[in-house]
Amino acid sequence: MNSFSEFLALSDLDQIVVLVSEKDISQPGMLNEGRWVASGKKDWLIRVDAADPAIPLQRHVHIARSKHTSAKNQQASWNEDKTRHDKGSFNASVGSLKVVQNLARDALGLPQDAILEHVTSPRAVLLESVAEPDAICVAYFRLSSAGA
């Protein structure tokens, strides 16, 4: 019987198939990270990309219509800290849709009331965060120009 290292060194080996049951994985969604998958909403696809602390890069989600998965300027994307990802190509029209925001929250495991960073129109206000110290609601805004 060969060891696993010896098995890998075999010259006629061209692929390895590893089968893992979903019940053995703590977060089954991780199996699809980096791949476009159906969202469950008509014509919308999502892709969750893993974090890379070396860059640093947060875990984030991209959302697009099926025909726009190769067009970054037709997508909305958010990091798991609720900030916009790919700010230079973030499509504000796509990102303003409630269905897209809900898909992003679900994909990132955020609560449904989580506020995702977005710009509603050029020269609009960017909602940074909301805090409720002592039951007084405080909203933090930053002025933003188009493409910010």
In this predicted model, what pLDDT tens digit does every residue of 22-68 receive, in sequence order?
A: 677 666 556 678 899 999 999 999 999 999 989 989 999 999 999 99
What does the alpha-carbon distance between residue 39 and residue 69 come to, in Å, rounded to a whole number? Answer: 13
Angle at Cα 49 formed by Cα 45 and Cα 54, nearest 5°? 165
How high does pLDDT run on average in the chain?
Answer: 81
Is 84 a residue whose pLDDT tops 60? yes
Give the pLDDT of residue 7.
74
- More reliable by pLDDT, 6 or 22: 6
**CA–CA separation, 5 vs 17, rounded Å?**
15
pLDDT interval class at 109 (50, 70, 90) = very high
Half-sphere exposure of 54 (CA within 13 A, CB side): 1
Instruction: Give pLDDT, residue 68.
Output: 97
Better-predicted residue by pLDDT, 13 or 148: 13
The length of the chain, given as a count of residues: 148
Q: Distance between CA 7 and CA 3 in Å, rounded?
A: 6
Given a cut of 60, is residue 145 above it in pLDDT?
Answer: no
Burial (CB count within 10 angstroms: exposed 0-12, middle 13-18, buried 19+), residue 48: buried
Beta bridge partners of 116: none
| Predicted pLDDT at 148 | 47
> Quick one: which of 68, 102, 61 has its CA closest to 84?
61
Contact status, residue 58 vs residue 39, Cβ threshold 8 Å: no
Q: What is the mean pLDDT of residues 126-131?
A: 61
Q: Which among 54-58, 84-88, 99-103 has the top mean pLDDT?
A: 99-103
